[in-house]
């Protein structure tokens, strides 16, 4: 009896249309307030139900954060966000519960919104 092999995106659960070789994108339920998240492992989570344009914009934004993390300028823990504007700047640690994450006034977000 013949069988059909499943597509890699189906096996691994990534979004075939928006993923690239170096940045897999996974659709997840992220709640009402979050469009996407960049992860330290190089993946991006996007909220289910976004329009194709919203997905494109969110992924472009999150790729800036991935680049910031790759440059060791942005990092996070469950409770903190660590930011360093450039190689000459001191590192700043922010408490997540004191921030409105995604706010364009935050330095790392402003950089991503301007891209």
Higher pLDDT pick, 14 / 96: 96
Domain range list for the chain: 10-114
| pLDDT tier for residue 1 given thresholds of 50, 70 and 90 | low
What are the tens digits of pLDDT across the range 33-70?
889 999 999 999 999 989 999 999 999 999 999 999 99
What are the tens digits of pLDDT across the range 76-102?
999 999 999 998 899 999 999 999 888
Extract the tokens encoding 106: 């935050």
> Cα separations (Å) of 20 from 6, 12, 88, 107?
19, 14, 32, 27
Strands laid side by side in the 44-47 sheet: 25-28, 44-47, 36-38
Predicted TM-score (pTM) of this structure = 0.87
């Amino acid at each position: 009896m013949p069988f059909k092999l499943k597509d890699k995106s189906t096996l691994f659960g990534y979004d075939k249309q928006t993923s690239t070789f170096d940045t897999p994108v996974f659709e997840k339920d992220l709640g009402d307030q979050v469009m996407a998240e960049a992860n330290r492992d190089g993946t991006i989570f996007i909220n289910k139900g976004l329009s194709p344009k919203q997905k494109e914009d969110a992924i472009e934004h999150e790729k800036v954060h991935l680049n910031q993390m790759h440059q060791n300028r942005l990092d996070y823990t469950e409770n903190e966000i660590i930011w360093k504007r450039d190689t000459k700047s001191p590192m700043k640690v922010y408490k997540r519960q004191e921030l409105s994450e995604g706010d364009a006034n935050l330095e790392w977000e402003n950089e991503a919104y301007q891209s």
